[in-house]
Structure 1
Amino acid sequence: MGRPRTRRLVKAVTDTGRPLRVLIAVRLSRLTDDTTSPERQLKECRQYVAAKGWIEVGVAEDLDVSARTTAPFDRAELGSWLKHRADEFDVIVFWRLDRIVRSVSDLNDLLNWAKKDGKHLASATEEHFDTSTAIGYIIAILIAWVAEMESQATSERTTSMHADFIDDGRYRGGTPSFGYRPVLITDTCWVCADAGVACRHVGQKRLEHDPVMAPLAQEVVRRIVEDSVRPMAIVKDLTARKIMTPDDHHRITLKDKQGKPRKPKGIAWQVGNLVLMLKSPALMGYQMRRDVLGVDQDGKKVYDKPEIVRDAQDRPVLRAQPIIDPVTFQRLQTKLEEMNKKRGPSKKSNALLLGVLKCGVCGLNMYINMGRTYPYYRCKSYSSGASCGNPNIRRELAEAFLLDLLLGEFGDIERCERVYEPGEDHSDELEQVQVTLDDLTGLLTKPAYKQGTTQRERLEHQIERLAEREAVLEAKPVRPSTYRLVGTGQTFRDYWDSLNTEEQNIYLLDHGVLVTVKGGSQAPEWSYELSDLHDILGSIDPGIDVGEYMRAQDEHARQNRESVG
């Protein structure tokens, strides 16, 4: 059954009286500065086409594309030809089968498509690979099995090599961590220089501070930790300043096949991606690892959460100069966690009580309506066509109630700020210095470092430097990080008046202020909830004793009642 169908296929292609039209397919999994494979593939394919007397009508070039995870129909260039331009060619020529498929299932899909559309496949370097004959199909499938097994073996070797790179803190390709860039070590790396030991990483690619991205990462951290700027606002600012994302910035440092810098993809800043980068301990220079959990239904690897790589003594492996120190990193995580709990509005607020004012009948939010004569808040149930019947409340009346409540309760309290005072603890560095000293002094008895040799002089110099550093660190006091309260001279009322409507609305939402009303403007019935009273008072004066404050307020109210009585 297979042989007659194959013969009819070939006859349909070749009996037209014209040379066959050829699409050349070129693919490469990873493009680097040293890559020559695309040019070599194209050259040999063109030589093969010329020898056959065929005509080249196009080239489908997919670079940085893995055949193991991306089927031919899903690739940008080849997929476009297969799905939209199949009538423009008769044969697909490739350098080797593994340039077009890496799995038997993908090959079967491609062969079935070729049968249906009257095409065939040819390899420029694999003899007898010709799908225009029955034996050619068999050879194609056998080669595909070999290619798939080779791909699996290559994947296992690559995984093992990457594991070794990770344990050693070496750069293993891809976009580096936020703030870093890969460099070839020709003299000494920062890690070894900082430890005062001879560098064993010469000839390797390691990470160092990127002159553009490292200051940017430090700026972002400072704005969040010290100025309480939200990641969303930072993303908007970076976008407005037209600053490249780390992915695009790394991309333009690479070169294309002509040796020119690659163009950025125009990847946009995203809040989620920025937060992930800021939560990574890689900012402290630590080596990170993600273990493979398995593969998904598309054959792509599924990874576990990133974790810090540790040495035999359970210490983090330091692979590069830290962007920020551990204390700042912890402050950053605390700040991000606090911001994540806040409930700011999803869009710009033009009314004070959006998300704050609730309907006293059905419990839904009340929204602003500008009205013909005056603005008012209306229950959301009106827009659903099934109104709960609660009348509207005038905007000025509702907002006045809330302001009287808030400012009457807290308006005259002076605002205080918590000023962070970083501590001083060099125990980690001291431990590292002492471990290195032990290692180096153990070399003094080795024959390679006998007295009078250059190696001995260098070793003694390193030991001397480390001993001096050890003495300095041991002399430094250990002081924990603390917060100090500083009065601003500004009351909460003054602070409130300095905010615009959007900022006031965010403050109310962040601190859990809820107001409920029913009965309309003529006879409103109010209730309110200050669920985060500790948080409200803490935002005004972090040092205030909430219990004592409430007792004082109750005593003040009792005295007022007695005076009236």
Structure 2
Amino acid sequence: MTTRTRTRRQATRTKASAEVEIKWTTEELAELAELEAATALLPEDAPRGLLSVRLSVLTEETTSPVRQELDLRRYAVQKGIRAIGVARDLNVSATKKSPFERKELGDWLKNRIPEFDLILFWKLDRFIRRITDLHEAITWCQRYDKNLVSLNDTLDLDSPMAQAMVTFIAAVAEIEAANTKVRVTSLWEHTKGSDEWRVGKPPYGYYVDKVDGRNRLVQYPDEAKVLRYMYRAAVRGVPANRIALILNRAKVPTYSNRTWNNQQVLRNLRNPAVKGVRTEGGTKSAGYRSKPVLDKNGKEIMVTDEPILTAEEFDKVGEALDVRKKNKRRNEKNKRPTRFLGVMKHRDCGNNINETNNYSTLATGETKEYRYLRCPQCRKPGFVIPQPEQMYSWIASEVIKSIGEHDVIYREYSKGEENRKERKRIQDSISYYMTGLEPGGRYDREGFVKERAQETLDNLITELDKFDPESTKDRWIYVRSGQTFVEHWQSGGVEAMENDLLRAGITFDVWKEDGEVLTDMKIPEDLLNRLVRTTDTD
């Protein structure tokens, strides 16, 4: 007789870890308020620091983000650095995402460069772990005159020697990350041949539980029910995207609390883990295809006593999916991308409108292809728009009429250092001549010398009055390219227009009324700002 003792699940399925909130104690909040008050007392010309906080894994018990932020704020106040913002990137691996790819820090590095002078972080490996990323960050700092400051590492970018030291520290961090990967790989190789679950996240539908004192996979009832539904629907021939739509309408949570899509459905149904066997692979580099791990006798290793699908059921659903895949391939050679995908929206449901095709066999035996537009999500009866090219032409003409004559404007980063030097030169020159014209000064004499000195002083004062204070600041400036959007689209084609519309957020609501196709163009109020192109990415 089997006895079971339930233990706490390794993964909480009802809440994604990314949604775990950082918890601050009353004492920490009080200290935060004191540090913010001390920051407000710093002089206006104090260096402006961006605080960068990163953590690879965030759980409800995590205290590291709070500790990092408070430590950084204390250090900033001690060094007279004005903390102007915090970039918090939690559940983010520095070995997988560079600073420029992270959600919060990446936004500061791409769009908010004029707002800070240096980046302050707790430790170099909290900021970066790959040498290639470090070189990219150093090049970026040199380009925009920024600095990197670490609380627990002695580093500064003011000299080539300092940059070499930073590179060395990053190399150590990269080696440490590589060693961690080796240890994890070694542990996996050691345990993957066992029928006991010792390491790793359980597959969808299962959780880890004690069975006769050993860790085994046990069915998670709600998720097992979802997988059984997927199986029955797929065997009946229901498409994967239809299964995903039904699950989303029923508000069934996924493994990470995201919405279902056809790929998630297919991966779960094709994953051998659903029949309770040990698997490996399943990563992006492996095309998300898992394969069973075999024991010394060439048999699959069972890690559960209650598989959700039997081996026969797994093979049966695989055959059903293969049939649909084979039928789908018939039309792949005639597939073409939908134009203005993401721009055309079905007004009734708000989903994207796609181009699709169908075939009809004529009396002569020939096959005729029909292309049309439809909403693949709601499939509302009667909402079919034939001749997609006419719709594309209509959208292009409306866009050209609305914004085609606007100039293409690029955003460029302008450093204020040269203008600051020039303003200081003028101010020093004014002081010099004013001192010279005072009683007893070198220009305090009647005649030509005093007149010329006074004339020079007046000119300098006039020049200083004309000096724009904003030009002394690091800032974005906007430069006209001398080309209109029509000219830009003529050279870049439909793809260039599509990219501009998506970036600008321009959409077309499409619906049918009494058999007539109607459209409504939606233009954001900040259209011109959205259309500005950046020299870094465009």
- The TM-score normalised by the length of structure 1 is 0.49
Superposition deviation, residue 88 in structure 1? 1.2
Could you say which residue in structure 2 is the equivalent of 1:511? none
Contact (CA 8 Å) 1:180, 1:208: kept in 2 or not?
yes
Superposition deviation, residue 363 in structure 1? 5.1
Contact (CA 8 Å) 2:267, 2:288: kept in 1 or not?
no
Rate the CA distance shift 1:230–1:243 in 2: closer, same or farther, 3 A.
same
Rate the CA distance shift 1:363–1:304 in 2: closer, same or farther, 3 A.
closer
Give runs of aligned pairs for residues 456-535 of structure 1, distance below 5 A: none
Could you say which residue in structure 2 is the equivalent of 1:209? 219
Could you say which residue in structure 1 is the equivalent of 2:152? 125
Rate the CA distance shift 1:17–1:324 in 2: closer, same or farther, 3 A.
closer
Contact (CA 8 Å) 2:271, 2:289: kept in 1 or not?
no
Give runs of aligned pairs for residues 326-341 of structure 1, distance below 5 A: 326-341=311-326
Give runs of aligned pairs for residues 34-433 of structure 1, distance below 5 A: 34-126=61-153, 128-168=154-194, 169-170=196-197, 172-174=199-201, 176-181=202-207, 183=208, 185=209, 188-189=210-211, 193=212, 199-201=213-215, 207-225=217-235, 227-248=236-257, 267-290=258-281, 305-320=289-304, 321-342=306-327, 355-358=359-362, 360=364, 364-365=368-369
Contact (CA 8 Å) 2:49, 2:83: kept in 1 or not?
yes
Superposition deviation, residue 365 in structure 1? 3.4
Contact (CA 8 Å) 1:72, 1:78: kept in 2 or not?
yes
Could you say which residue in structure 2 is the equivalent of 1:506? none
Report runs of 4+ in structure 1 exceeding 6 Å deviation: 344-347
Contact (CA 8 Å) 1:28, 1:38: kept in 2 or not?
yes
Greater C-alpha radius of gyration: 1
Superposition deviation, residue 38 in structure 1? 1.9
Contact (CA 8 Å) 1:171, 1:207: kept in 2 or not?
no
Q: Aligned to 1:355, what secondary structure does the other structure show?
A: strand
Contact (CA 8 Å) 2:360, 2:367: kept in 1 or not?
no
Contact (CA 8 Å) 1:358, 1:366: kept in 2 or not?
no
Superposition deviation, residue 65 in structure 1? 1.5
Superposition deviation, residue 284 in structure 1? 0.8
Superposition deviation, residue 354 in structure 1? 5.7
CA deviation map 1:54-100 (0-9, x unaligned): 12111111112121221111111111001111111111111111111
CA distance in 1, matches of 2:231, 2:44: 69
Superposition deviation, residue 107 in structure 1? 1.2
Could you say which residue in structure 2 is the equivalent of 1:263? none
Unmatched 5+ residue regions in structure 1? 1-15, 194-198, 249-266, 293-299, 348-352, 369-378, 384-565
CA distance in 2, matches of 1:367, 1:52: 66
Rate the CA distance shift 1:268–1:303 in 2: closer, same or farther, 3 A.
closer
Question: Which AA in structure 1 matches 2:322?
Answer: E
Superposition deviation, residue 278 in structure 1? 0.5
Question: Which AA in structure 2 matches 1:364?
Answer: K
CA distance in 2, matches of 1:363, 1:229: 26
Rate the CA distance shift 1:46–1:246 in 2: closer, same or farther, 3 A.
same
CA distance in 1, matches of 2:150, 2:119: 9
Question: Which AA in structure 2 matches 1:337?
Answer: D
Q: Percent identity?
A: 30
- The TM-score normalised by the length of structure 2 is 0.51
Cα RMSD after superposing both structures = 3.4
CA distance in 2, matches of 1:29, 1:367: 47
Aligned residues: 308
Contact (CA 8 Å) 2:197, 2:303: kept in 1 or not?
yes
